[in-house]
């Protein structure tokens, strides 16, 4: 039997739902019940009536699903699938910043550990970061952990942003030179990049969107060619859902840890009901409020 077929059988038996991020490899996207961006996945996780969530993405995404569903089993098929940017921020450092700037409110990009979220007033994703910041009472905002996203938000707010010096290595690989080269090769293409890109890349793009924001932008656009400034797997869903449109990836934009989820480890996770995500209940309770506040604010792109 093909692993895909056994996964579908076990999914029924366990009353499980499979959630997958837009950067997952095609064969994982194809067996998922829902494929989307961080915000969409958190929203799906919070409303599912399944007993088990199989999370195909990186650590902080699976952890958020557990925080939102303390009584459900959340399986993360490969525990080594971690986001390096989330690992660049630590709760002690955030507490020190809060001491230095007691009037500031703390916004935690979802790409953070549960411990860092527990220090935040509200979470955000790249879809709604500007909307979340503009809704805060304070004019001073500590923004963790992505300095590029912080600088993207700073362009659209009067508030003062204090950035944490983290970054995404995958999006750092998207450089002005690479994008300019693609623009020269495809002069009619529309350039859409992720807000985790360097500011100088955002400057030469036509738009900056979350991964799901890119999906809607492309669907609604009259353009037929697009340069996609984010992780390369994004092109799979874009191509599948937009026949007749052409997409150009930026070379080298690969998130290696996203690729650690495979059909074999999803199957093993459903068979053995492990590895299961555990979050300290006290931390989870503190981290849930900022996540729920983010979801109430909703999509921004
Ligand atoms: P999205 O929320 O736009 O899917 O981004 C998540 C992410 O990790 C981007 O690198
Ligand atoms: Fe983390 Fe970057 Fe990978 Fe997204 S693409 S999961 S931010 S390392």
Encode pLDDT of 220-271 as tens digits.
999 999 999 999 999 999 999 999 999 999 999 999 999 999 999 999 999 9
Mean pLDDT score, 24-39: 97
User: What's the domain range around 154?
Assistant: 86-167+286-297
Q: Are residues 152 and 218 in the same domain?
A: no
Q: Are residues 147 and 290 in the same domain?
A: yes
Question: Residue 147: CB within 6 Å of ligand 1?
Answer: no
Q: Are residues 16 and 149 in the same domain?
A: no
Output the pLDDT for position 144.
Answer: 98
Residue 148 pLDDT level (bands cut at 50, 70, 90): very high
The DSSP annotation for 245-294 comes to: -EEEEPTT---GGGGG--HHHHHHHHHHT-SBP---HHHHHHHHHHHHHH
User: Considering only CA atoms, which of 294, 234, 237, 279 is closest in space to residue 43?
Assistant: 294
Residue that the structure tokens 């009536």 belong to: 49
Residue 195 Cα: closest atom of ligand 1: 3
Q: Are residues 183 and 52 in the same domain?
A: no
Q: Are residues 146 and 292 in the same domain?
A: yes
Q: Are residues 199 and 53 in the same domain?
A: no
Q: Are residues 99 and 158 in the same domain?
A: yes
Q: pLDDT tens digits for 273-292?
A: 999 999 999 999 999 999 99
Q: Are residues 188 and 150 in the same domain?
A: no
Q: Are residues 125 and 182 in the same domain?
A: no
Q: What is the CATH number of the domain that holds 53?
A: 3.40.50.10800
| Token pair listed for 145 | 């952990």
Residue 131 CA: distances (Å) to CA of 86, 122, 123, 125, 156: 21, 12, 11, 10, 9
Residue 208 pLDDT level (bands cut at 50, 70, 90): very high
Output the pLDDT for position 114.
Answer: 98
Total domains present in the chain = 3
Output the pLDDT for position 169.
Answer: 98
Question: Residue 238, Cβ neighbours under 10 Å: how many?
Answer: 22
Which backbone phi and psi does 5 adopt, to 5 degrees?
Answer: -70, -40
Closest ligand to Cα 84: 2
Output the pLDDT for position 63.
Answer: 97
Ligand 1: residue whose CA is nearest its atom 6: 38
Question: Residue 24: CB within 6 Å of ligand 1?
Answer: no
Q: pLDDT tens digits for 72-127?
A: 999 999 999 999 999 999 999 999 999 999 999 999 999 999 999 999 999 999 99
């Amino acid at each position: 039997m093909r692993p895909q077929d056994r996964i579908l059988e076990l999914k029924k038996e366990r009353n499980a739902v499979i959630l997958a991020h837009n950067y997952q490899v095609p064969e994982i996207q194809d067996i998922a019940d829902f494929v989307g961006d961080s915000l969409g996945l958190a929203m799906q996780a919070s409303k599912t009536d399944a007993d088990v969530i199989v999370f195909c993405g990186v650590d902080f995404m699976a952890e958020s699903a557990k925080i939102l569903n303390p009584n459900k089993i959340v399986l993360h098929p490969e525990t080594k699938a971690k986001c390096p940017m989330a690992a660049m921020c630590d709760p002690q450092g955030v507490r020190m910043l809060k001491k230095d700037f007691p009037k500031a409110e703390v916004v935690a990009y979802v790409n953070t550990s549960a411990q860092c979220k527990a220090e935040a007033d509200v979470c955000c994703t790249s879809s709604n970061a500007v909307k979340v910041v503009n809704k805060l009472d304070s004019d001073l905002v500590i923004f963790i952990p992505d300095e590029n996203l912080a600088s993207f938000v700073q362009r659209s707010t009067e508030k003062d942003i204090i950035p944490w010096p983290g970054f995404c290595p995958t999006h750092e690989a998207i450089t002005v030179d690479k994008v300019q080269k693609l623009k020269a090769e495809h002069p009619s293409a529309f350039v859409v990049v992720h807000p985790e890109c360097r500011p100088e890349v955002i400057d030469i793009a036509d738009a900056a969107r979350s991964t799901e924001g890119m999906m809607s932008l492309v669907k609604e656009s009259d353009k037929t060619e697009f340069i996609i400034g984010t992780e390369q797997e994004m092109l799979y869903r874009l191509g599948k859902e937009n026949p007749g449109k052409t997409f150009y990836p930026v070379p080298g934009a690969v998130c290696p840890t996203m690729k650690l989820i495979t059909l074999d480890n999803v199957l093993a996770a459903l068979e053995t009901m492990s590895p299961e995500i555990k979050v300290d209940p006290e931390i989870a309770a503190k981290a849930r409020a900022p996540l729920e506040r983010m979801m109430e604010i909703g999509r921004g792109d």
